[in-house]
Amino acid sequence: MAAKDKPATTRDTIVELRGVTKSFASGEGGELPILRDVDFAVARGESVSIVGPSGSGKSTLLNLVGTLDDPTSGTVLVDGEDVSALDEKQRAALRSSVIGFVFQSHHLLPQCTVLENVLVPTLVAKERNGAEEHARQLLDRVGLSHRLTHRPAKLSGGERQRAAVVRALVNRPSIVLADEPTGSLDRESAENLAELLSELNREQGVALILVTHARDLAERLSRVVELRDGKLVEVSRGTEARGSETRGPETRGPETRATR
């Protein structure tokens, strides 16, 4: 990992937040601080789960990383770029080439087929050569090759979320951001999706930042951080966080869903 021509952030770190504060207007004319002086770095190929109670700022944090919103103060770096220095067009280019998004609700276009849906991000990509072939391979990989020409309404919830994951991956992002991706799925579909995401991380080195309440999913990732009172706290860290020994009482939040 010898340093040569690029600063450390660009080389080894895909996402970095430095002293990030985010406040929203409180309604009574004041400011409601949601994130307070948060420092957070994610290495290339790393997988991180963000937990915390409802309203603690998990989606707010993910939106900042996804360049969809700006901090009140502090710096957000994505792939070495200071996001605040980019205009909307440059941000769109960064999102398209570096970031894949998976939301709780799949957001597939109802009038388009599965194959058309997963090709949508490639319409704005710089490099479109082989896009359809790549999309077909990914759909095959997640067991959806028999669903290429179906519209989302014909798919199960789990199949729709798998299609949404393929759409997030089609431009070969360096990082996938997922906001409660298994939140609307039954247990078996949730486990399949969790396995898929962690395999993609292991096999293709795609970094993952997931917001999840599902402990099975969080445990497949290398690191768990928790948002508490606007601060980001490291809950567990290891190259392999899976296994019963990592299940300390501190990871059992009141809203952690019982899965067995």
Q: How far is the CB of 104 from Mg ion (least distance, A)?
A: 8
User: Is-contact 238 47, C-beta < 8 A?
Assistant: no
Q: How far is the CB of 165 from ligand ADP (least distance, A)?
A: 20
Does the protein bind ligand ADP through residue 130 (CB under 6 A)? no
Nearest residue (CB) to ligand ADP, 24 versus 107: 24
From Mg ion, ligand ADP, none, interface partner of 77 (C-beta below 5 to 8 A by class): none
Does the protein bind ligand ADP through residue 49 (CB under 6 A)? no
Q: What is the C-alpha separation between 194 and 207, in angstroms, rounded?
A: 14
C-alpha 126, offset from chain centre: 22
End-to-end Cα spacing for the chain: 43
Angle between helices 131-141 and 157-169 in degrees, nearest 10: 140
Q: Segment near Mg ion (CB under 5 A), from 55-63, 84-92, 131-139, 159-167?
A: 55-63
3-state helix, strand, coil in the chain (%, to 5): 35, 25, 40
**Beta carbons within 10 angstroms of residue 118's beta carbon:** 29
Q: How far is the CB of 38 from ligand ADP (least distance, A)?
A: 12
Exposure on the CB side of residue 63, measured as CA atoms within 13 A: 11
From ligand ADP, Mg ion, none, interface partner of 34 (C-beta below 5 to 8 A by class): ligand ADP
Does the protein bind ligand ADP through residue 34 (CB under 6 A)? yes
User: Is-contact 187 155, C-beta < 8 A?
Assistant: no
Q: How many residues bind Mg ion (CB under 5 A)?
A: 2
Residue 175, token pair as written in the block: 């990082």
Does the protein bind ligand ADP through residue 221 (CB under 6 A)? no
- Outline where the chain has alpha helix (H): 8-12, 58-65, 88-98, 114-119, 131-141, 157-169, 187-204, 215-218
From ligand ADP, Mg ion, none, interface partner of 57 (C-beta below 5 to 8 A by class): ligand ADP
Q: How many residues bind ligand ADP (CB under 6 A)?
A: 10
Q: Of 47, 59, 189, 222, which lies in the binding site for Mg ion, with binding defined by CB under 5 A? A: 59
Within residues 57-86, the interface with ligand ADP by CB under 6 A covers 57-60
Does the protein bind Mg ion through residue 161 (CB under 5 A)? no
Interface with ligand ADP by CB under 6 A: which residues? 24, 34, 52, 54-60
Interface with Mg ion by CB under 5 A: which residues? 58-59
